[in-house]
Amino acid sequence: MSNKPIGFFDSGVGGTSIWKEVNLLLPNENTIYLADSKNAPYGEKSKETILSYSIKNTEFLLEKGCKLIVVACNTATTNTISKLRSMYDVPFIGIEPAIKPAALQSKNNVVGILATKGTLSSELFAKTSEKFASEITIIEQVGEGLVELIESGQLNSPKTKELLEIYIKPMLELKTDYIVLGCTHYPYLIPQIKKIVGNGVSIIDSGEAVAKQTKAILLKNDLLNLSAKKSNHQFYTNTNTEVLKTILGIVPENTTIEFADF
């Protein structure tokens, strides 16, 4: 058992969608979340640059004593997780677009994937698509500009709506019945996406699966926090704290949201 925190990092505020799922399943766990918003978006950067950011974030979290790290970013996971696992001893949990469940459940055999350029061009994504979706039609769409809009708090702006329509309407024309959100920022756009797709299309992401996997790995390594003390949660951003506060909404007791220069 361990009362050390679980660490999370993302290129910004998006990974809080994963943090929320983990906190829901494991409310007893202490957590530290890093929003590397200064360097967002990762999705347009080179693999080497994404790796250097991922190392910097990991080392910050390890210095704070984290027992496990959730890479709450599809772009960082698909480009760097095997390297991170080879460099450090703590367990890493990553997030990848939920291609498998979408491919299994799609009735029309047409699945749309909205993700960053970095995720869609990664080897890991190519392998996962080949393994689980070689029999169906996959429509890959880069969500260019969406991370920047979310990072500036524009979840509902006309520009956000316009970009979503440009990205999603062609998927509907091709009879997509499953849309996979392959970027942890995008779950914050689900209400807007639903307005575009209506009822016949399912929207899925990997947040719940990541939470379950986190629990399984903590159990396996005897790292669950069994203490009766209330958990505490530290959020750090290297830009201003306002958007992070708004995106998080209501937070548990014992939560701090601060600027840090990392």
Residues serving a catalytic function are 73, 183
Site string for ligand DGL, 139-168 (x = CB under 6 A): --------x---------------------
Site string for ligand DGL, 49-88 (x = CB under 6 A): ------------------------xxx-------------
Query: Residue 223 CB, nearest distance to ligand DGL (Å)?
Result: 25
The angle that helices 158-173 and 190-197 make with each other, rounded to 10 degrees, is: 50
Q: What is the DSSP string of 207-261?
A: HHHHHHHHHHHHHHTT------SPP-EEEEESS-SHHHHHHH-S--SSEEEEE--
Nearest residue to ligand DGL by CB is 43
Q: Is 180 in the site for ligand DGL (CB under 6 A)?
A: no
For residues 252 and 15, what is the distance between their CA atoms, to the nearest angstrom? Answer: 17
Quote the tokens at residue 208. Answer: 């719940």
Query: Residue 214 CB, nearest distance to ligand DGL (Å)?
Result: 16
Q: Which of 2, 6, 7, 10 binds ligand DGL (CB under 6 A)?
A: 10
Query: Residue 167 CB, nearest distance to ligand DGL (Å)?
Result: 15
Query: Residue 247 CB, nearest distance to ligand DGL (Å)?
Result: 12
Helix%, strand%, coil% for the chain, nearest 5: 45, 20, 35
Handedness of CA 162, 165, 170, 171 (dihedral sign): positive
Q: Indicate the residue among 36 and 177 with the shorter CB distance to ligand DGL.
A: 36
Give residues 32-51 in contact with ligand DGL (rule: CB under 6 A). Answer: 40-43
Residue ranges of alpha helices (H) inside 31-137 are 47-63, 74-87, 99-105, 117-120, 123-133
Query: Residue 107 CB, nearest distance to ligand DGL (Å)?
Result: 27
Q: Indicate the residue among 67 and 185 with the shorter CB distance to ligand DGL.
A: 185
Give residues 81-140 in contact with ligand DGL (rule: CB under 6 A). Answer: 116, 119
Q: Indicate the residue among 54 and 119 with the shorter CB distance to ligand DGL.
A: 119
Q: Indicate the residue among 44 and 165 with the shorter CB distance to ligand DGL.
A: 44
Q: Taking CA 142 as the corner, what is the angle to CA 141 and CA 146, rounded to the nearest 5 degrees?
A: 120
Under rule CB under 6 A, how many of the chain's residues touch ligand DGL? 17
In what helix (H) or strand (E) does residue 24 lie, and over which residues does it extend? helix 16-25
Phi, psi torsion values for 178, nearest 5 degrees:
-130, 130
Query: Residue 38 CB, nearest distance to ligand DGL (Å)?
Result: 11
Task: Report cis status (omega within 30 of 0) of the bond before 91.
Answer: no
Write out the residues near ligand DGL by the rule CB under 6 A.
Answer: 10-11, 14-15, 40-43, 73-75, 116, 119, 147, 183-185
